[in-house]
């Protein structure tokens, strides 16, 4: 199952996003069960995230909460990197 927001063609995978980088989720390529799990954790299309820890597990910040994702699952989440002045993370 692929859920996407095709407004931007410039994307990178979550597992390739540098530490402390901010990005917006644009596409998720995973099975419906995994997609629903990610959505319940707050990771969905249009959501702004920040990478807190690289590796396996990869840790991201969403709405002030931190969640861990396996590297294999993070590789199926595609993002648009935010402009430096766009992020409101501290």
Q: CA-based diameter of the chain, in Å?
A: 35
What is the distance in angstroms between the CA of the first residue and the CA of the last residue of the chain?
34
Q: What is the pTM (predicted TM-score) of this model?
A: 0.80
Residue 80 CB neighbours (<10 A) = 18
Residue 89 has pLDDT above 60, yes or no: no
pLDDT tens digit sequence for 12-68: 999 999 898 899 999 999 888 988 999 999 999 999 999 999 999 999 999 889 999
Question: Which uninterrupted H or E stretch holds 69?
Answer: strand 65-69
Return the bridge partners of 37, or none.
Answer: none
Angle at 23 between CA 19 and CA 25, to 5 degrees: 125
Residue 10 structure tokens: 């410039």
* CA dihedral of 27, 33, 38, 39, whole degrees rounded to 10: 80
pLDDT of residue 72: 92
Residues 62/42, Cβ–Cβ less than 8 Å: yes
pLDDT tens digit sequence for 56-83: 999 999 988 999 999 999 999 999 998 7
- Domains by residue range for the chain, with CATH: 2-81 (2.30.30.90)
């Amino acid at each position: 199952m692929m859920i996407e927001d095709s407004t931007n063609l410039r994307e990178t995978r979550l597992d390739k996003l540098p530490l402390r980088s901010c990005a917006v989720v644009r596409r998720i390529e995973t099975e419906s069960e995994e997609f629903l799990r990610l959505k319940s954790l707050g990771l969905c299309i249009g959501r702004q995230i920040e990478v807190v820890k690289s590796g396996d597990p990869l840790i991201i910040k969403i709405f002030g909460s931190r969640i861990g994702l396996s590297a294999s699952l993070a590789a199926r989440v595609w993002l648009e990197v935010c402009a430096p002045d766009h992020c409101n993370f501290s």
